[in-house]
Amino acid sequence: MRMVPRGGRLFLATCLGSLLVLVLYFQSVTKPEPVVKTGSRPGKSRRSPLQTLYNGDQLELLAAQRSLHGRRELLEQACLSHTRKRRVLSPEDLKHLIVDDKHSLIYCYVPKVACTNWKRVLMVLTSDGRYTDPLAIPANEAHVAGNLRTLSEFSTPEINRRLRSYLKFVFVREPFERLVSAYRNKFTRRYNTAFHKRYGTKIIRQHRPDPEPEALEKGDNVTFHEFVQYLVDPRTQREEPLNEHWERVHSLCHPCLIHYDVVGKYETLEPDAHAVLGLAGVEGMLQFPTSGKSTRTDGNMAARFFKQISPFYQKKLFNLYRMDFLLFNYSTPEYLRTR
Ligand SMILES: *[C@@H]1O[C@H](CO)[C@@H](O)[C@H](O)[C@H]1NC(C)=O
Ligand SMILES: *[C@@H]1O[C@H](CO)[C@@H](O)[C@H](O)[C@H]1NC(C)=O
């Protein structure tokens, strides 16, 4: 087992500490600045998405907004009761926040929660007309770093200005459905050799008794049980952060430090995406692509995979993902056996 010596870690921490940028912004901004007039049409004003949300008069959005408002309040309460210390954000925390300056939007992407399609939509929105159809953008292109700007690229005042005045949204999903989806996608598909090599070999080395040499070399055929053992092993997070595909939303998007205006859910992807595009004032310009893959979760996928997991590990896994359950109002799964 490799470990960073204590002195080395302290030194690292000091270096990182000196790079920390104070990101200060008011958490409870509910009154955005006055309506900005657009130059092109005198007398006519355009609301920013944030203004539309908080001074909303778009009747058709009201019902959707009530449930979005409920989720926001629940998140705020859950943050108050379950997080102790508040800390300051560093640019490193903002790498998942994608910025659309044209429509005043900030989107925190969470893998396995329709993030490819959201990235495609944001590429259309920020492309100055180069793209018009989200689905015409190849999936791999949507994930190329540099095609979209993230909040971490800006200076502190520029970060704070955007956090204050943009509509910030995130999409979440039932944590274990998301986890099982990540496992199936990354470990049970023959073509995902990069993940097998990067994570599979390590998981097999550490968690399979008497592994075959071929398995040790290729990292193929990791079982869900082995994957779970890897996740809850204290060594795993000591060595490096969890991969974004199974990292918790709480750690990717910092929902107790960043005041998200809209918390969308994968389980209600279509209406929630529609509401966000409505707030951005672009619902006539493009539709959120929900066709192709079914976004409905049958609710049994995770249950089936959890059958292979002992109560001991189920409990550890639940503790690992507990904050995501609490913050986003997902109830403890009925299939869960913790004793
Ligand atoms: C939280 O979840 C419960 C149970 O599923 C539901 O009845 C309630 O409406 C949810 N609350 C919010 C604010 O979404
Ligand atoms: C993985 O499983 C497949 C199908 O059962 C098998 O053909 C292959 O040899 C296995 N790979 C390794 C490295 O064990």
- Please report the pLDDT score of residue 339 as a whole number: 72
Question: Residue 2 is encoded by which pair of tokens?
Answer: 């490799």
- The answer on 222 and 166 residing in a single domain is no
User: Would you give per-residue pLDDT tens digits along the chain (339 residues)?
Assistant: 444 444 444 444 433 433 344 444 444 444 443 333 333 444 345 788 888 887 765 555 566 677 888 999 999 999 999 987 778 899 889 999 999 999 999 999 999 999 999 999 999 999 988 999 999 999 999 999 889 999 999 999 999 999 999 999 999 999 999 999 999 999 999 889 999 999 999 999 999 999 999 999 999 999 999 999 999 999 999 999 999 999 999 999 999 999 999 999 999 999 999 999 999 999 888 999 986 455 555 668 899 999 999 999 999 999 999 999 999 999 999 999 887
- Please report the pLDDT score of residue 81 as a whole number: 93
Q: How far is the CA of 328 from the centre of ligand 1 (A)?
A: 9
Mutate to test the pocket of ligand 2, among 216, 220, 223, 226 (most ligand atoms within 8 A of CB): 220
- Please report the pLDDT score of residue 61 as a whole number: 57
* 103 occurs within a structural domain: yes
- The answer on 291 and 197 residing in a single domain is no
Number of independent structural domains in the chain: 2
Task: List all residues 6 or more positions away from 87 whose beta carbon is below 8 Å from its beta carbon.
Answer: 257
Q: Which ligand is nearest to the CA of 217?
A: 2
Q: Which ligand is nearest to the CA of 327?
A: 1
- Please report the pLDDT score of residue 86 as a whole number: 77
Task: List all residues 6 or more positions away from 183 whose beta carbon is below 8 Å from its beta carbon.
Answer: 224, 227, 246, 305
- The answer on 135 and 117 residing in a single domain is yes
- The answer on 90 and 236 residing in a single domain is no
Tokens 């969470």 correspond to: 110
Strand ranges inside the chain, DSSP E: 97-100, 105-108, 149-150, 167-172, 262-265
Residue 228 neighbours by CB distance under 10 Å: 24
* 337 occurs within a structural domain: no
- The answer on 235 and 140 residing in a single domain is no
Give the number of the atom of ligand 2 that is nearest the alpha carbon of residue 217: 13
* 328 occurs within a structural domain: no
- The answer on 128 and 276 residing in a single domain is yes
- Contact in structure between 212 and 228 (CB atoms under 8 Å): no
Determine if ligand 2 sits within 6 Å of the CB of residue 218.
yes
End-to-end alpha carbon distance in the chain: 31
- The answer on 267 and 312 residing in a single domain is no
Determine if ligand 2 sits within 6 Å of the CB of residue 221.
yes
Strand partners, 168: 106
Instruction: Give SS3 for 88.
Output: coil
Determine if ligand 1 sits within 6 Å of the CB of residue 70.
yes
- The answer on 48 and 182 residing in a single domain is no
Q: Which domain holds residue 101?
A: 24-175+247-295
Question: Residue 290 is encoded by which pair of tokens?
Answer: 């929900």
Mutate to test the pocket of ligand 1, among 77, 260, 326, 329 (most ligand atoms within 8 A of CB): 329
